[in-house]
Amino acid sequence: MSGRAAFVHDPALEAYGFGGDHPFNPIRVRMTIELCEDSGLLAGFPFVGPDPATDEDLATVHSLSYVRSVQKAGRGEGDPIELLGYGLGTQDNPIFPDVHRACAHVVGAVIGACRLVMNDEAEHALCVTGGLHHALRSKASGFCVYNDSAAAISRLKEEHPGIRIAYVDTDVHHGDGVQWMFYDDPDVLTISVHESGRYLFPGTGGVEEKGRGKGAGYSLNVPLEPFTEDDSFIECFEAVVPEALGAFRPDLILSQNGCDAHRLDPLAHLYATTRVFEHVPRRVHELAHELSGGRWVAVGGGGYDIWRVVPRAWTALWAILSHQGLPELLPEGWLRKWGERSPVGLPHRMRDDPGAFPSVKRGEEIAGRNRRTVERLREEVLPLIG
């Protein structure tokens, strides 16, 4: 498989979901898989099936007492009050049967994807079920029970002493869990481009969060104003990410590709279109080849317009990662199948029509505020990398 792209997936990974009307619905993964298949993008790319994470894998970033509590919760055991202290059984993170098994499988998939790339069995790897970036050391948070990216980074650091890993997160929500787990580590660069925590969960991710001790300068945050559109999002990304990665010189880039910055997403306030969700992975891909020998692992993340946005955004991600062209139209069979189930009309094109969404009235003012944020980051934090 060397020199090729790997799609790490197993239908069992689609068990991670909270049921009912919870916004985190694994049907978005099934729709993405089938859209890739029906578009001919998986021909010659058989799925690589992962093993679930072990307790030892999880304990690299989570406390063992927390892991045991998740296991109890999945069996219908444990004291409800104690579980609430671990963030389990809340509105965001309701308990579902076998929650430990489902989430440990996701963690194992991301660890497996990273090992494929680091062992030169694949050049790039994708695991769309990964990207659960809010989970903390001893607490579930923001639909995330275990932190797959953090566990993968920790395992790679053990297996490849001295490795430098860059984590690039463009989910609309701040990548807080990964940031805090490596906040004092100069061998892990975390970059998060997100809607400002002044307006959105988890309320963190300001420019002043720049790392601690030896890790000072290795946490970069780009908090964007609500209603930020494509041009400003891309301008801010380009003003920070290439220079930061160039200064850091990572051995591996791990990118989190939440697509909830789209203007149709019901849980946030940014105004991106599919243009952003092609630009970001394309540039990360280029930077991986320029800086890290092509070693790039991509995971999914947030995205709650599961019908119109997520399948198209992650199909574009796979096409870019696997060096394939993106079809202009969605397959008729896919549209028929999912159109019958969707509560909203499905788009027929992979890319948003540039004229489909009107510009916001204060677009230039918003872009100006974002520029000032980036200028501050470039003055106060970027010079610390080295």
Active-site amino acid positions: 134
Read off φ and ψ for residue 56, nearest 5 degrees.
Answer: -65, -40
Rounded distance between C-alpha atoms, residue 173 and residue 195, angstroms? 6
Give the length of the chain.
Answer: 386
Q: How many helices (H) and strands (E) does the chain have?
A: 12, 7
Report the DSSP beta bridge partners of residue 168. 191, 255
DSSP three-state, residue 56:
helix
Residue among 343, 303, 298, 342 nearest 322 (CA): 298
Rounded distance between C-alpha atoms, residue 323 and residue 58, angstroms? 33
Q: Helices 274-291 and 230-248: crossing angle, nearest 10°?
A: 10
Rounded distance between C-alpha atoms, residue 52 and residue 64, angstroms? 17
Report the DSSP beta bridge partners of residue 166. 189, 253
What distance lies between CA 380 and its chain's CA centroid?
Answer: 26
Read off φ and ψ for residue 304, nearest 5 degrees.
Answer: -125, 0
What are the distances in angstroms from CA 146 to CA 61, 72, 74, 99, 350? 9, 15, 13, 10, 32
Opening angle at CA 197, ends 202 and 114, nearest 5: 60
User: Could you check whether the bond before residue 202 is cis, i.e. omega within 30 degrees of 0?
Assistant: yes
Residue 331: partners with Cβ closer than 8 Å, 6 or more residues away: 35, 38, 39
Opening angle at CA 231, ends 226 and 232, nearest 5: 45
Rounded distance between C-alpha atoms, residue 136 and residue 59, angstroms? 12
Residue among 306, 170, 189 nearest 244 (CA): 189
